Amino acid sequence: MLKIAVLGVGRIGRMHAENIAAHPRAELAGVFDVLAPAAVEVSEKLGAIRFDSVEAVLASPDVDAVLIATSTATHADLIEQATAAGKPILCEKPIDLSLDRVNACARTIAGSGVPVMLGFVRRFDSGHSAVRRAIEDGKIGELHQVVITSRDPGMAPDAYVEVSGGIFRDMTIHDFDMARFILGEDVAEVTATGSRLVDPALMERCDDYDTVSVILKTASGRQAIINNSRRAVYGYDQRVEAFGSAGMAISENHPLNHLRLYGDSYTDQAAPLLNFFIERYAEAFAAEIDSFVDAVEQGKAPEVDFEDGRQALILAEAAIRSIAEGRTVRTSEIG
Amino acid sequence: MLKIAVLGVGRIGRMHAENIAAHPRAELAGVFDVLAPAAVEVSEKLGAIRFDSVEAVLASPDVDAVLIATSTATHADLIEQATAAGKPILCEKPIDLSLDRVNACARTIAGSGVPVMLGFVRRFDSGHSAVRRAIEDGKIGELHQVVITSRDPGMAPDAYVEVSGGIFRDMTIHDFDMARFILGEDVAEVTATGSRLVDPALMERCDDYDTVSVILKTASGRQAIINNSRRAVYGYDQRVEAFGSAGMAISENHPLNHLRLYGDSYTDQAAPLLNFFIERYAEAFAAEIDSFVDAVEQGKAPEVDFEDGRQALILAEAAIRSIAEGRTVRTSEIG
Amino acid sequence: MLKIAVLGVGRIGRMHAENIAAHPRAELAGVFDVLAPAAVEVSEKLGAIRFDSVEAVLASPDVDAVLIATSTATHADLIEQATAAGKPILCEKPIDLSLDRVNACARTIAGSGVPVMLGFVRRFDSGHSAVRRAIEDGKIGELHQVVITSRDPGMAPDAYVEVSGGIFRDMTIHDFDMARFILGEDVAEVTATGSRLVDPALMERCDDYDTVSVILKTASGRQAIINNSRRAVYGYDQRVEAFGSAGMAISENHPLNHLRLYGDSYTDQAAPLLNFFIERYAEAFAAEIDSFVDAVEQGKAPEVDFEDGRQALILAEAAIRSIAEGRTVRTSEIG
Amino acid sequence: MLKIAVLGVGRIGRMHAENIAAHPRAELAGVFDVLAPAAVEVSEKLGAIRFDSVEAVLASPDVDAVLIATSTATHADLIEQATAAGKPILCEKPIDLSLDRVNACARTIAGSGVPVMLGFVRRFDSGHSAVRRAIEDGKIGELHQVVITSRDPGMAPDAYVEVSGGIFRDMTIHDFDMARFILGEDVAEVTATGSRLVDPALMERCDDYDTVSVILKTASGRQAIINNSRRAVYGYDQRVEAFGSAGMAISENHPLNHLRLYGDSYTDQAAPLLNFFIERYAEAFAAEIDSFVDAVEQGKAPEVDFEDGRQALILAEAAIRSIAEGRTVRTSEIG
């Protein structure tokens, strides 16, 4: 049994804690949160120890590994501390909003040999990963184009958006990682376009965008197109399409149920899409924990690592610069 | 060029006349209708001769073949007359509402050598025929079950229903033929159930049903299930499912167009179904003419013949008896 | 917390035990199985007490309720014993293969006031229950026809089939209950057809069928069509269609994932269906436990009760008689 | 009856001639082709006059209008000649490969009052036009993003590609027009990416691309994404997605038929897509003729006009420049 402590038990940390508790080869070694009531509630509900400090967690011999689900600003520090304590890490994305800080963190933990896994949960979705497997199995031949549609069901609260680091670092970052996962090759060029259509006033205030389109290109010429919106009224729109020389693989959306309705003005109507990531990626979050447990137990490299987190942030930086300068930006110009 | 005259230019006859006129290896040799204005209109529109009598049509050396689209009561007589005149025939279903009359007609035309094709148009639908082809190609292995869903978009006018001969002879007859087409084996047993749910008063008055379910079984045990309703508000519901030892083939419905709509309470909504048979089976009607032209030109047996029309009527009679007696009826008991 | 003991921890009982252990308002009070090793394994894995006898379970003050997942032949006895002990019951279907025994059991437990819930799990499927809700919400108007497609992915072992009581009591019984659930009205008439197509030799030996079609009819004329096969190579085929005066609702199949593949000879290809009931109805099994806990905690009548189990068995008996006598059988003739 | 002569009776011209001949309010006034045998064949097949020269066509009082389906290099000249002769024109796209020539042509015909319709046939597709109608009807609220997937089933012959003017002027031009049709607003900015993945050697030789992605943006911030490939093995991939504040509308692909196949390793498999534009847009080509006849008969402006052709070419020029300079290009910089 791998004993994992959870740092930060807000909405996501709590879900991770439940998944750890339910995992057959893991157990919840305890929880910590700067907001004590949240930690108390989760520790009582799941019958887990509540730690009083990060230091206590990292010093505990009953903690084999940590899951970091605290606020973004603390991620890099905690990664450094846990690495120093020799505790394997599963950290929620992003590592940090600053590429400089990420690079510094990378230098700090270099050579430690402590596994750091990044929480790009979508890689563990059964549909998205089936797309990648179809490519690996040669089902679509040589990969030519990837189309990623990723639209949130609704705008996050203003307060969240204001400190999010902008759509590219906060939301598109998942799609940048998905593009890398599917492309199977480093991205060489980034071209982005942003608009303010969902909440223009907020976007103006934050110098941010709510509607973006991005084209990525690899050295060999493979293309990935990402389109994002902060609000899709029909639910959480999450599709991945891979087009190749011998076919195409699409990971389709997940409606709430398998009902189809027919009426006097329509046919074959499905339910709205699962809404939101906790529901849509429920199985993927559990599979992510499983992958982490596997990696630590078997001494394997994590399926998604620190460098994947850094590369996704580089693409975000490139997209921001692309819009600012109205041009295609090479990733070699960043970081 | 095969010169085909059309007898009866109501809604269906007129469509046949247009298809003949548009066929590359056929021409419209003329039209006849007991209602002169209908014949005048069609003959003018399509630039075809208007005949004054059936006799004139059958006597004309410029008529190679006839398409019979008159009222049902006249079909058997016209088949006998055209056969006597040596003109190949494409006759709309059903041959007659009376099995005795059909049997008499069969005796009369026996040995004439004149091809008689029956207008079971659905056999020429690209989806339904692809189901049969999938079976023939071994795609689904040994056939076990057939499910035919066939629902009209709305009840025909009372006056039509009253003289229709009842739902089994008028509407289900198409499904009986489709079942035979897909089953590829004679039907041995028929069990039927009927209800009055769409227009109970009219059904009561006509001693008819508007909602029926029928199970057919062949000697080898293959089963076909037919479900019919006289009114589906979402359009003309026409599906054929064939289930076998190695798979399944389904001919799906045809919506008005390929649009899919997503809103705040639904996703993936399609348009209503094509409505009604003239639209839904437009391509099949053209393919039917093509098959007739082929058969006559090349001296081949028609793809659907008089005996197919007689067998479908036997199934209708068996269904009627099954309901009347509350039991499974063997086709060998009929006719 | 409702403390539930599980009697019988074969494949299904074990899954129920896990669902109880994971339920937020229930706990696993212990397990019992006549095969001690199975009980030991489950009790160790889930950290639950292992009882040595049914008597011990029923006598324990730490057992609030029991879930019966033993072999069918013991169900009625255990229901009687647990009722006598005042323990609320969730019993796997069927109650018994003999209607006489079921009727006797009904008399024995009459008036006890102890809740007995029957495990017709499909009622708790999100798609199937959405069909019923659509009907209740008036989305399809007056209900006219129900079509239930239910095909197992593969034939059970011979030894299982031989003691199963035949396809109607063992497999179709789920569909009989589903038909009752969707029809919302008692079934008045049953007409059935059976064939031996999947494994003719075994079916001959057991005087059983592997391929059946059944038509049910209510007093008001609503029809339900059930088609069953013991083997669908593409997976566990579970569809429910409800057709009414104002529309149609369909609960569609569940493929393994949401991938769609396109190649040079096909498009839009989905994965095989989930296979088998443990996977397909995983959420429904959990929802069933939830419903049971709710009913017991709140003193409500169970959503599926003993009488539902008895009625489904009456339909099975009627189907068997229908085939034997080649006629439509009224349910009032049975039991 | 509008008497229309067809100039150029290659594959497309011939199809137009047939559609004109079949149109209820039009007739084929004759054909002309520089290759006499082609003209002879079509004129004989359709029973139409064969003209010996363009001049003869334009001088004929029996020609009310002309359809130009000659090679691209002749379009602008023929538009000028026909305009001078006062004959309304339906011209295949593109007007010319050179924007300068198009601009000169625009000046020449300015003020003539002769209707010139451009053959952007996809606007007349029932699915694509339903997307636009859904927007106009407010079904998806304010439009935010358009995604156009457009992939040919296979690379055209080298000889064709070499003189095609490049993928943007030859193939993407249809998608540029579709984007304008759906966006309902002028495009302000164009960003494009091109790759050589299908036939790198040919593309290298022609300084062309076979795989491109383009982002368009309007002044108000609406975005359109186009992705093109010269070869999709599963058929002619033609999808249009419009995403807005209140929903989404998608025009889906057209498989060869409505069959769905299930086997032991897959479910719900559809047929390959219709292949190629003559089949896929058959109805749209007929509807285009209908729109032209309507416009001329009723003195209305054509639904797609010369300026639409010019604007699409401007977008092509902008895309070419965008790739060349690695930057976003404003349409105001072009032409």
Q: Which domains does chain D have, with CATH numbers?
A: 2-114 (3.40.50.720), 123-281+311-333 (3.30.360.10)
Q: Do C263 and A271 touch (CB under 8 A)?
A: no
User: Cα separation of B97 and D173, whole Å?
Assistant: 58
How does residue A178 score in pLDDT terms, banded at 50, 70 and 90? very high
Q: What percent of chain B has pLDDT over 70?
A: 100
What are D230-289's pLDDT values in tens digits? 999 999 999 999 999 999 999 999 999 999 999 999 999 999 999 999 999 999 999 999
| Chain D neighbors (3+ CB pairs < 8 Å) | A, B, C
Give, as one character, the DSSP assignment of residue D74: H
Neighboring chains of C (3 or more beta-carbon pairs < 8 A) = A, B, D
Report the gap between the CA of A270 and the closest CA in chain B (Å): 5
3-class DSSP state of C254: coil
Q: How many CB pairs under 8 A join B and C?
A: 107
CA distances to B93, B284, D180, D320 from B153, in Å: 20, 19, 38, 52
Q: Mark out the alpha helices in A207-305 (DSSP H runs).
A: 277-280, 282-298
Do the beta carbons of residue C3 and residue C63 sit within 8 Å? yes
- What does the pLDDT look like over B203-249, one tens digit per residue? 999 999 999 999 999 999 999 999 999 999 999 999 999 999 999 99
Cβ burial of C110 (10 Å; 0-12, 13-18, 19+) is exposed
Contact A127 C261 (CB under 8 A): no
Interchain proximity B223–C248, CB inside 8 Å:
no
For residue B24, what pLDDT is reported?
87
For position D96, what pLDDT does the model report? 96
Taking residues B9-16, what's their average pLDDT? 96
Supply the pLDDT for residue D24: 87
Nearest to D315 by CA among D113, D174, D197: D174
- What is the DSSP annotation of D261-296? EEETTEEEEBPPBP-SHHHHTHHHHHHHHHHHHHHH
pLDDT in tens, D134-171: 999 999 999 999 999 999 999 999 999 999 999 999 99
What mean pLDDT do residues C149-162 have? 95
Give the separation between CA D5 and CA B22, rounded to whole angstroms: 20
Q: Using a CB-CB distance cutoff of 8 angstroms, which residues of chain D are in contact with residue B271?
A: 130
- What's the confidence (pLDDT) of residue C258? 97
Cα(B185)–Cα(B6) distance, integer angstroms: 33
Q: How far is D273 from chain C (nearest CA, A)?
A: 7
Place of tokens 């072009």: D334
Average pLDDT over residues D210-231: 98
| Cα-based distances in Å from C48 to A19, B177, D233 | 21, 61, 57
Element (DSSP H or E) covering residue B144: strand B143-151
Mean pLDDT of C110-123: 97
* CA C80/CA C70 separation, integer angstroms: 14
Residues of C engaging A, defined by a Cβ cutoff of 8 Å: 22, 126-127, 130-131, 134, 139-140, 246-254, 256-264, 271
Q: Is the pLDDT of residue A335 over 80?
A: no
Helix residue ranges per DSSP H, C299-326: 306-325
Query: Quick one: tokens of C223?
Result: 């029809």
Enumerate the residues of chain D whose CB falls inside 8 A of the CB of residue B246: 263-264
C280 vs D contacts (CB less than 8 Å)? none
Residues from chain C that touch D272, judged by Cβ atoms under 8 A, are 264-267
pLDDT reported for residue D305: 97
CB contact under 8 A, B257 and D126: yes
pLDDT of residue D8: 98
Please work out, in degrees rounded to the nearest 5, the angle formed at the alpha carbon of residue B155 by the alpha carbons of B151 and B156: 115
Is residue A91 scored above 80 in pLDDT? yes
- Reply yes or no on whether the pLDDT at B140 is more than 80: yes
Encode pLDDT of D9-42 as tens digits.
999 999 999 999 989 899 999 999 999 999 999 9
From chain B, which residues contact A within 8 Å (Cβ)?
A: 233-235, 253, 255, 261-273
How far apart CA C211 and CA C323 sit, in angstroms, is 13
Q: B256-292: buried (b, 16+ CB within 10 Å) or exposed (e) per residue?
A: bbbbbbbbeebbbbbbbbbbebeebbeebbbbbbbbb
Contact A264 C246 (CB under 8 A): yes
- Using an 8 Å CB-CB cutoff, list residues of chain D that contact chain B: 22, 126-127, 130-131, 134, 139-140, 246-254, 256-264, 271
Query: What's residue C220's pLDDT?
Result: 97
Question: Contact at 8 Å (CB) between D188 and D330?
Answer: yes
Burial (CB count <10 Å: 0-12, 13-18, 19+), residue B155: middle
Output the CA angle B179-B180-B184, nearest 5 degrees: 115
If you count residue pairs, one on C and one on D, with CB atoms under 8 Å apart, how many are there? 54
Smallest Cα distance from D318 to chain B, Å? 31
Q: Is residue C138 classed exposed, middle or buried when 0-12, 13-18 and 19+ CB atoms within 10 A define those classes?
A: exposed
Predicted local distance difference test score (pLDDT) of residue B3: 98
Give the pair of three-digit tokens for residue D239. 């999808």
Q: Select from B193, B211, B225 the Cβ nearest to the Cβ of C144.
A: B211
Summarised one tens digit per residue, pLDDT across range C9-28 is 999 999 999 999 989 899 99
Distance (Å, rounded) from C-alpha B158 to C-alpha B197? 15
Mean predicted lDDT score pLDDT of chain C: 97
D270/C267 CB distance under 8 A:
yes
Report pLDDT for D183.
Answer: 98
Of chain C, the percentage scoring pLDDT greater than 70 comes to: 100
Facing residue for C267 by CB, picked from D264, D267, D272: D272
Do residue B273 and residue A267 have CB atoms under 8 angstroms apart?
A: yes
Q: What is the mean pLDDT of chain D?
A: 97
B269/A268 CB distance under 8 A? yes
- Residue B91's Cβ-side half-sphere holds a number of Cα atoms within 13 Å equal to 31
Chosen for mutation from B267, B273, B274 (greatest number of chain A CBs closer than 10 Å) is B267
Q: Is the pLDDT of residue B335 over 80?
A: no
From chain D, the residues in CB contact with B258 under 8 A are 126-127, 130, 251-254
In the sheet that holds D247-251, the strands lie side by side as: B266-269, B259-263, D247-251, D237-244, D143-151, D223-229, D211-218, D187-195, D329-330
Q: Cα–Cα distance between A221 and D198 in angstroms, integer?
A: 11
Mean pLDDT within B48-58: 97
CB A29 within 8 A of CB A62: yes
The rounded percent of chain A whose pLDDT value lies above 70 is: 100
